[in-house]
Amino acid sequence: MGKHRCSVCNWVYDEEAEGQDFDSLPDDFTCPVCGAPKSAFVAEEEGKGKEDIKTTVAEKIIEQLEIFGVKYVYGIPGDSNLPLIEAIRKSEKIRFILTRHEETAAFMASAHGKMTGELGVCMSIAGPGCTNLITGLMDAATDRSPVLAFAGQIPEVYLGSEAFQEIDQIELFKPFTEFAETIARENQALKLVTMATKYAFKKPGVSVLSTPTDILAEKLDEKVYPIEKRIFSNKTAPRDEDVRKAANLINGCQKITLFVGWGSRHSGKLIKELSAKLNAPVATTSRAKGVVHENDRFSLGVLGSIGSKHAAKAIKNCDLIVIMGSGFRQANLVPSGIKIVQIDIDPTKLGKTFDVDAGIVGDAELVLQKLLPLIERKRENTEFLEYIDRMKQEHREELEAESNDLSIPISSGYVIQAIKRHADKDAIICVDVGDHTYWFQEVRV
């Protein structure tokens, strides 16, 4: 007499206790717990000692995420991801953040990746829960945030049978993800989690793992992979000849403006050093606002259609722009004849919509570390900086007037300045697209 285990829910049919051989059961026999068909049962003796294994695939996945430094998982629990939820409950290192909607979970994972540079992780249940992830994951994909999403899936034994809430998840996510695969066997789990993590950090971008419930409940005793031997930095070092060419061009110009994008958000200290050495003002994209404190003498604030007037005027009155970590959609603001140095980790961004005199492919921090020693210290261009100071003063006076505008209907500038006065200095304020985005750009940080 033997035992047969349901591969969907792990309920065990004990022939001795039931008084009937499993093989003699009718073909339409189903698991009394989850309703899985007879074909979903496997003989325990074929399990190679699985009855002695204490950990499940889901528990090993969470253990692997712990090793990779994950501290939070955002999502909604349900039948198709309960094994993962239970594994997180047992974890002492990972906290589950319950959201009200899967889209919110994906946006939170995306924001986590953007703010920290760490892996943002979210999860959903099958069917509509899975499709709800799309908008948040698209946000992560377009903004290059490292995100790993676990899409709950119906039991693998039901795939292809038009089962309830079955959709082709891989086809759904493939067009905008860096990696999308199904964990179809227990011995794939750790390798696919590792590969998904690698691809999430590669661009960075989004990885999706489809996780059938029955596979998550399978037993697995493999050792997790050590992070120091599996996950490595994706920072690209620049070519020395490209750095020298840029340095020569910078050293030959007098009125220089630095333009900083999101790709340089972790290089604020080095950007300030370069600005001080060149006596050069610094403008930013809206996303990079605050990389250089806007009370700094050389700060111009945001450049662009929703930026400051003095940033646009400074760009028009320089003879060289150094662009760091931005595709520079503001090229229409630059008159012809101004030289451009562009630094970006993505070579397709260099010279995408405008001519570049010196392009450097590399991580902004690594580039600046090599570039700074080659830059000659410049005298202060008094006329240029005084012109910028006048523009900034005029702008501050405009903001002051707006902040005291008590007219009806209520002034946007008054509202924004009131928020600034009462919000914590380290407050994180989320803004969507619209006119209000312009007003928030006017808040000095």
In tens, the pLDDT along 275-322 reads 999 999 999 988 888 888 888 888 888 887 777 777 887 788 889 999
Region label for 422, one of left (φ > 0), alpha (ψ between -120 and 50) or beta (otherwise)? alpha
Continuous H helices in 43-125: 57-67, 82-90, 102-116
pTM, two decimal places: 0.81
Closest by Cα among 259, 276, 281 to 375: 276
Question: Percent of the chain scored above 70 by pLDDT?
Answer: 96
- Predicted confidence at residue 411, as pLDDT, reads 82
Q: What share of the chain is helix, strand, coil (3-state, %, to 5)?
A: 45, 15, 40
Alpha carbon distance 162, 343 (integer Å): 50
At residue 265, the 3 state secondary structure works out as: coil
Tell the burial category of 48 from Cβ atoms under 10 Å away from its Cβ (0-12, 13-18, 19+). exposed
- Average pLDDT score over residue span 55-59: 95
- Average pLDDT score over residue span 129-156: 94
Q: How confident is the model at residue 442 (pLDDT cuts 50, 70, 90)?
A: low
342-348 own/partner pairs: CB under 8 Å, 24+ apart: 343/238, 343/246, 343/264, 343/367, 344/263, 345/235, 345/236, 345/263
Alpha carbon distance 241, 365 (integer Å): 17
Q: 355 with 339: CB under 8 angstroms?
A: no
**Tally of CA atoms within 13 A in the half-sphere of 165 that contains its CB:** 19
